[in-house]
A and B are shown apart, each in its own frame.
Chain A
Amino acid sequence: MKEAGQKAARPDRRRSRRLRFSRDDRELAFLCFPAAVWFIAFCYVPLFGIVFAFKNYKVSAGKGFLYSLFVHSKWVGLRNFEFLFRSPDLWVILRNTVGYNLVFLLIGVTLPVALAIMLSQLHSRRLAKICQTAVFLPHFLSWVVISSFVFAFLSTDKGLVNSLIRALGGSGVLWYQDKAPWPWLLILINTWKTFGYSMVVYLASITGIDESLYESAVIDGATKMQQARWITLPLLRPIISIMFILNVSHIFSTDFGLFFQVPRDSNSLTQVTQTLDVYVYKALMQNSNYNFASAAGLLQSIAGCLLMIGANRMVRRIDPESGLF
């Protein structure tokens, strides 16, 4: 069936090279046109805005934006980047960004895998199905909603945690002002939100493993632990590696909602909760510091791009079909 289709396509190819643009091509171009316009408008036109990072943006009153940006604002080369690197904030922010991402990464390739293997062994399939559905829920909740949940627990005067502490004789903790517990809190909350989805993805892979491999292992007298170690994990290695590598390529970008909404943008916590995305947002929207924001954003894009390409090469080496490009 497929060959017949290809054979029919080949004569088309020759014909369409002779004609300027076949009818099929015209119609397909028409179909693709709206999406192409969207990509150009929202992905490519903003690329021109990269010049922001190299200019000292000054609005010129009375004239349009393009005039302000391209004519009126002075070209300053790499000076914005210099200022950015000299500011002490940047290093704290980079530490936060990369640090949190590394922890999330490590947890993300160990915990959901272990849970997926455990879940696949439960005797009661009904319980497994119910639990699987339940742990999937946090993935569908937005950070705004989750920050309300967290507030219900951590609110200084009304939260459940402080109520329990007071009932046990202690005095309440000022959760939103004390920065010490927040790294752990953020890691816990992020794990809570993401483990269900990852677990289900790994579970889908485990289902694909051939039964007979386990059966022959049983005949050879393998214990469950041995089966997990020598059959399940090696067969999961490709997908674990791919997930790992793809996540490494995102190491400079973070989920804005987690680091902005959940701590409720509290100033006393920024030392440990502010990441690059939050910094760029605040510089843009709250401080109108366009220069810093655009320089930081550009660095983030470049770093992400290089990492993505590198990550894709490595993924391709593991499984040639799985690369993104």
Chain B
Amino acid sequence: MTGIREIRPDGLGRFNRIRPLTNLLFSAVFVLLAASTVLPVVFVLIISLSPEASIAQNGYSFFPSSLSLSAYEYLWLSRDYIGRAFLNSIGITVLGTALGLLLTSTLGYGLSRPSFRLRGVLTVMILIPMLFSGGLVSTYMINTQVYHLKNTYLSLILPGACSSFYVMIMRTFFRTSIPDGIVESGRIDGAGQIRIFTRLVLPVSLPVLATVGLFLTFSYWNAWYGAMLYLDSNHRELYPLQYVLISIERNIAFMAKNEEHFTGESMGSVPSETARMAIVMLVVIPIACSYPFFQRYFVGGLTIGAVKG
């Protein structure tokens, strides 16, 4: 329950409430704001459930002539393309999050141990990229020409796996929230740092692992820039779901510019507007259903990272 102050009915608080009229005004403002954020999602949902004919006649509307599952049927029929993309997105998200957690937690733990000899060097190592980066051209060229990542799954997983910001969140947590007693008792029992980390520290680190894990999960699920850079149209089987949307729109734009070269049949093979909105729903529904449960992790993570560095 982040941020909602309890107005105690018995304390002085009850004299400090805003007037009922002001409350009505404020409530109205917030209902409108909440509606503005939820309405577009509902709109797209309705479009995805509208029959194609209704769209052709009346355009996008909150009140189509009837409801129809034709868009979702189309998705089911195209399941080797769309379904594949969905699985790609899931796979990339899961693998990316796992890798990211591995990298950030190990480095964060090492940096949190005051007696670690390499601590200074490694701290500088993570600080410099926060200030300065090679730029898009350099990164792109290195990734494609030197590491040969073009048109591979790795190009979508590796570049985004780790970040100085997350490492610092981990470091702060391991430094402040793990009682020294745990590490000490491990030492007394003769365990090395690796064993202390894996057997003693990680099991009690679920809050920070959940926080960074959630950041990573949402970031990978929503990722499309990497696909735009590193995947070309001959490798559609690698496309994640977000990029499918982009690709469809590009095809339509391309076809619109080159109308004379396309027969009526090819135009028909482009997913209809309702189908496109159905794909959007495929992307949005997992997010919309899960994020309310994870709100507090996101806020907690940001305030640790931004305020306490």
Contact = CB atoms under 8 A, between A and B. Distances in A.
Interface of A: 1-2, 4-6, 8-9, 12-13, 16, 21-25, 27-32, 34-36, 38-39, 41-50, 52-53, 64-66, 69, 115-116, 118-125, 127-138, 140-142, 144-145, 148-149, 152-153, 155, 157-160, 162-163, 192, 195-197, 200-201, 203-207, 211, 214-215, 218-219, 224, 227, 239, 242-243, 246, 256-257, 261, 264-265, 277, 280-281, 284-285, 290, 293-294, 297-298, 300-302, 304-305, 308-309, 321-325
A265 B159 CA distance: 25
A29 B118 contact: yes
13 contacts: A32-B110, A34-B106, A47-B138, A131-B30, A132-B295, A140-B288, A155-B60, A163-B59, A197-B298, A200-B3, A204-B2, A297-B138, A322-B309
Given A41-B147, A148-B245, A284-B137, A325 B60 contact: no
A49 B134 contact: yes
Nearest to B288: A137
Contacts of B87: none
Contacts of A257: 224-225
Interface in B272-286: 273, 276-277, 280, 283-284
Interface of B: 1-7, 11-13, 15-18, 20, 22-23, 26-27, 29-31, 33-38, 40-41, 43-44, 47, 55, 58-62, 102-104, 106-107, 109-111, 113-118, 122, 125-142, 145-147, 158-159, 161-162, 167, 179-181, 183-184, 187, 192-194, 197, 218, 222-225, 228-229, 242, 245-246, 249, 253, 273, 276-277, 280, 283-284, 287-288, 291-292, 295, 298-299, 302-303, 306-309
What 5 pairs across the A-B complex have the smallest Cβ distances? A49-B138, A5-B180, A297-B135, A46-B134, A203-B3
Nearest to B6: A125
Majority secondary structure of chain B interface residues (helix, strand, loop or mixed): helix
B37 A138 contact: yes
A206 B3 contact: yes
Given A46-B133, A163-B58, A309-B131, A152 B37 contact: no
A259 B50 CA distance: 30
A124 B118 CA distance: 53
Contacts of B222: 140-142, 145
A38 B3 contact: no
Contact of A136 (B109, B118, B295): B295
A36 B102 contact: no
A300 B115 contact: no
B158 A42 contact: yes
Given A49-B134, A134-B37, A284 B103 contact: no
A127 B308 CA distance: 31
A130 B34 contact: yes
Given A13-B115, A65-B146, A308-B131, A120 B4 contact: yes
Contacts of B110: 28-29, 31-32
B135 to A, nearest CB: 3
B105 to A, nearest CB: 9
B306 A34 contact: no
A104 to B, nearest CB: 17
A136 B4 CA distance: 15
Given A38-B103, A52-B135, 10 more contacts: A43-B129, A50-B138, A125-B7, A131-B34, A144-B242, A145-B284, A152-B47, A196-B37, A201-B303, A301-B133
Given A120-B5, A148-B44, A142 B283 contact: yes
B104 A35 contact: yes
Contact of B137 (A122, A160, A294, A302): A294
B106 A65 contact: no
A241 B43 CA distance: 38
A5 to B, nearest CB: 3
Contacts of B41: 137, 149
A119 B27 CA distance: 8
Given A42-B159, A49-B134, A163-B59, A24 B116 contact: yes
Given A38-B103, A160-B43, A160-B59, A204 B3 contact: yes
Contacts of A43: 128-129, 133-134
A134 to B, nearest CB: 4
A301 B135 contact: yes
A31 B273 CA distance: 50
A12 B115 CA distance: 7
A46 B141 CA distance: 8
Given A136-B291, A160-B61, A246-B306, A24 B193 contact: yes
B134 A149 contact: no
B33 A135 contact: yes
B278 to A, nearest CB: 11
Nearest to B3: A203
A121 B59 contact: no
A204 B303 contact: yes
Given A1-B179, A243-B306, A214 B16 contact: yes
A35 B43 CA distance: 43
A256 B295 contact: no
Contacts of A138: 37
Contacts of A155: 59-60
